[in-house]
Amino acid sequence: MVVGGGPVGASLARAVHGMRVALVSHERRHSAPAAPGVFDARVYALSPGNVEFLRRMKAWPSVPADRVAPVHAMRIFGDDGASRLQFDAYRAGVPELAWIVEDSALQDALWAGFDVEVFAPAQCEELCVYEKSVSLKLRDGQTLSARLVVGADGANSFVRRAAGIEVAESDYGQTAVVANFRCEKPHANTAFQWFRGGAVLAFLPLPGDQLSMVWSLPRAEATRIERMEAQPLCREVEAASRHALGSLEMTSSLKTYPLRRLAARSLVAPRVALAGDAGHVIHPLAGQGLNLGLQDARALADMLVARAPVRDPGDLRLLRRYARSRAEPILAMGSVVDGLHTLFNAGNPLAARLRNAGLNLTERMPVLKNVLMRQAMR
């Protein structure tokens, strides 16, 4: 049983082929024809490894080609205006570094042709774990039973709380401001990122002449930006991006998300496993949040499908194997992201010199650049 119908939960439900699966979601996806040239403000940068995972489930080809954009290059700039780090798919010998896809398009593709029992919309009321099974009571009175429940139900996970899994949380003190723009200059399928003191501005390419912006800002600054009219906001974003893509025209509403760090003490408990934001939430500066979650789904699905048919999928020894396989990648990515956030958030001149020198040093070390790129492409 999978609780959570977002990309992580839906991909896991599709990936455990040959098993009887129930998907419990607070909402049911209703696909609606997308308006040409109009894109969600919420998009993801999917790694090639996760795109291949979606292809194996036949979910990726069903995403319309005009709703996704490949990333062929990435340009990262320090806050001194001169330091930079560049990644290029051609030089690395790969077709693309990532794919940009809308949240709605990805979820519609995952939900299309579900061969699982779906309970949606549904609200979870009570989770009971027994020696050989687990039961989930829904608000409408239904009770579902399974041998394993997977919590893929987000940062405020019901499953995690009901299983008694503790978390370590911290507040980044920032808000992500998200919106789409039409750009004057061609983005050439390039992703851009500017570190500006404590703020991080990212442009992700969308099809045609559009881009998606994620601007991580201190709370007070985000509130100021959120209250601006469209035209002054465009001018502010143009200045913050040093006019890299010329004049901008806003093409979506603006959304904001408070940023926090979350790490579950364990990804598993008796007959319970966590995946995605239910187990870990990191800063979006590296764009790896959903990628980590889909990697969770890949690892858990592979383990469940490969187990002996007679083996209980809720066996705690089996679940601990999943937790061990994910511990190092999650810790490594979280540490890198937190380290970058701390370094670029530091206001003293020494830290500024160190971080900008670090970008330039990495740019001059092809081996290190390749290691970083390969990690991000998993």
In percent, how much of the chain has pLDDT > 70?
89
CB 182 within 8 A of CB 63: no
The answer to whether the peptide bond before residue 70 is cis (omega within 30 degrees of 0) is no
Question: Position 174: which residue type?
Answer: Q
Instruction: Work out the pLDDT band at 33, boundaries 50, 70, 90.
Output: low
305: Cβ contacts below 8 Å, ≥ 6 apart: 15, 16, 17, 18, 19
Q: pLDDT per residue over 174-188, tens digit each? A: 999 999 999 999 999
Residue 275 tokens read as: 């995946």
Name the strand (E) or helix (H) holding 329. Answer: helix 316-345
190: Cβ contacts below 8 Å, ≥ 6 apart: 71, 72, 73, 74, 75, 205
Residue 320 lies in a domain: yes
Domain housing 54: 2-29+40-376
Residue 47 lies in a domain: yes
Which range among 62-71, 113-122, 139-148, 341-350 has the greatest average pLDDT? Answer: 139-148
Identify the residue with better confidence: 89 or 159: 159
Residue 34 lies in a domain: no
Does the global pTM surpass 0.95?
Answer: no
Residue 315 lies in a domain: yes
Instruction: Work out the pLDDT band at 28, boundaries 50, 70, 90.
Output: confident
Residue 269 lies in a domain: yes
CATH number at residue 147: 3.50.50.60
Q: In total, how many domains does the chain have?
A: 1
Cα 77 to Cα 183, 195, 262, 281, 343, distances in angstroms: 19, 6, 27, 25, 14
Residue 35 lies in a domain: no
Q: What pLDDT is attached to residue 159?
A: 98
Residue 9 lies in a domain: yes
